Amino acid sequence: MNNLWDLAIIGTGPAGLSAAIYAQRYGLRTIVFGDTPGGRLSIIEKIENYPGFPEGTTGPSLGLSMFSQAQKQGAHFTMTMVVALTRKGEHFYIRDSLDNTFYSKTAILACGLVPSFKGVPLTNKKGIYLCATCDGPMFRGKDASLAVIGGGNTAGAQVLQLANVASQVHLLYRGAQLKMERATLNKITKMTKVKIWTNVDIKEFLGDDSITGIKFIINGEKEEQIEVSGVFLAVGWETRLSFIELDLHKSPDGYILTDNSLMTNVPGLFAAGDVRDTDLRQVISACADGARAAKSALEYISNFF
């Protein structure tokens, strides 16, 4: 059959690129879809927790190195997005954004997440961050007042992390009851530097080029204004999997469920990285997932083709 690949990888982030490097070295004919070399790495200013870089590194340079390494191993990159993935007979059928079609014996979903901006006004001011682990440390020693928007476990974790670097942390949540684990809630309610606001309707981010404050309404009536130099969004992340025309099992919050070999409920279809139902969403875990999924794809092909 024309255009039949051993492995199709959907996503050019750390998970997809690691899978490509491993798969090529296993001798699998590998095709990779995605239009952003490095995936989410391309927007990360500084990465200080990925081993091998004592002084840290920038996301784009790490992403491009991974991309070049996968290219050097011989993986084929389409630089297009997948618009349809389904099964035809014993193969996966893939259609891309240029309307090209491909077939593959196995596939790895390494398509990451997209940020959720539910209830947050759009802004192009500087000072909006998505990751307290990554960007929080830059406020250390600056007597900064920061805000976290959200009410779940991610928001709780961000508040705990930012409390180590900021002089004040505001937690703003649109609901009445925070949804985070009780242990986290107990910790943050005891912290004097943390102020919790509930029933919040955010109206505006204040400031010219950079955010200097937030204007919001609480309980539908009282207007409040706080000064902050950074806003950490923890409204949530979402999977975007509408291109998959297969009955894929997912967790209640939409992450792809896998077994220990990272295979989904669809035989021969694997998931790796942030898109998977996992408790650590970082570069290092995405890379490890990619390597494991490639090995599992190799084993699947050896057993079934």
Ligand X SMILES: Cc1cc2nc3c(=O)[nH]c(=O)nc-3n(C[C@H](O)[C@H](O)[C@H](O)COP(=O)(O)OP(=O)(O)OC[C@H]3O[C@@H](n4cnc5c(N)ncnc54)[C@H](O)[C@@H]3O)c2cc1C
Binding positions for ligand X, 258-277, rule CB under 6 A? 273-274
The reply to whether 131 sits near ligand X by the rule CB under 6 A is yes
Q: Among 5, 6, 8, 14, which residue sits at the site for ligand X (rule: CB under 6 A)? A: 14
Terminal-to-terminal C-alpha distance of the chain: 14
Please name the helix (run of DSSP H) or strand (run of DSSP E) that holds residue 159, with its range, or none.
helix 153-163
The reply to whether 286 sits near ligand X by the rule CB under 6 A is yes
Binding positions for ligand X, 201-260, rule CB under 6 A? 243
Q: Among 15, 185, 200, 262, which residue sits at the site for ligand X (rule: CB under 6 A)? A: 15
The reply to whether 132 sits near ligand X by the rule CB under 6 A is no
Contacts of 16 (CB under 8 A, 6+ apart): 9, 10, 32, 34, 39, 108, 110, 111, 272, 273, 290
Beta bridge partners of 116: none
Residue placing its CB nearer to ligand X in the complex, 125 or 215: 125
Contacts of 88 (CB under 8 A, 6+ apart): 103
Stretch that binds ligand X, among 8-16, 171-179, 197-205, 254-262 (CB under 6 A): 8-16
Stretch that binds ligand X, among 147-155, 188-196, 260-268, 283-291 (CB under 6 A): 283-291
CA atoms 189, 195, 201, 202: torsion sign:
negative
Residue placing its CB nearer to ligand X in the complex, 12 or 145: 12
Stretch that binds ligand X, among 66-74, 105-113, 210-218, 256-264 (CB under 6 A): 105-113
Sheet arrangement for strand 213-218: 200-206, 213-218, 222-227
Q: Which pair of tokens denotes residue 2?
A: 């024309």
Q: Total residues contacting ligand X (rule CB under 6 A)?
A: 33
User: From the CB of 263, what's the least distance to ligand X, in Å?
Assistant: 17
Which DSSP letter does residue 78 get?
-
- Tell me the per-residue interface mask from 23 to 62 with ligand X, x by CB under 6 A, - otherwise: ----------xx-x--xxx--x--x-xx------------
Residue placing its CB nearer to ligand X in the complex, 134 or 196: 134
Residue placing its CB nearer to ligand X in the complex, 136 or 185: 136
Residue placing its CB nearer to ligand X in the complex, 24 or 282: 282
Contacts of 71 (CB under 8 A, 6+ apart): 77
* Burial readout 126-149 (b: 16 or more C-beta within 10 A, e: otherwise): ebbbbbbebbbeebeeeebbbbbb
User: From the CB of 53, what's the least distance to ligand X, in Å?
Assistant: 11
Residue placing its CB nearer to ligand X in the complex, 132 or 185: 132
* Dihedral pair phi/psi, residue 2, rounded to 5°: -65, 145
Other Cβ atoms less than 10 A from the Cβ of 27: the count is 11
Contacts of 52 (CB under 8 A, 6+ apart): none
Please name the helix (run of DSSP H) or strand (run of DSSP E) that holds residue 149, with its range, or none.
strand 145-149
Q: Which pair of tokens denotes residue 58?
A: 């920038």
The reply to whether 81 sits near ligand X by the rule CB under 6 A is yes
The reply to whether 12 sits near ligand X by the rule CB under 6 A is yes
Residue placing its CB nearer to ligand X in the complex, 185 or 258: 258
The reply to whether 293 sits near ligand X by the rule CB under 6 A is no
What residues make contact with ligand X under the rule CB under 6 A? 10-16, 33-34, 36, 39-41, 44, 47, 49-50, 81-82, 110-112, 130-131, 134, 243, 273-274, 281-284, 286
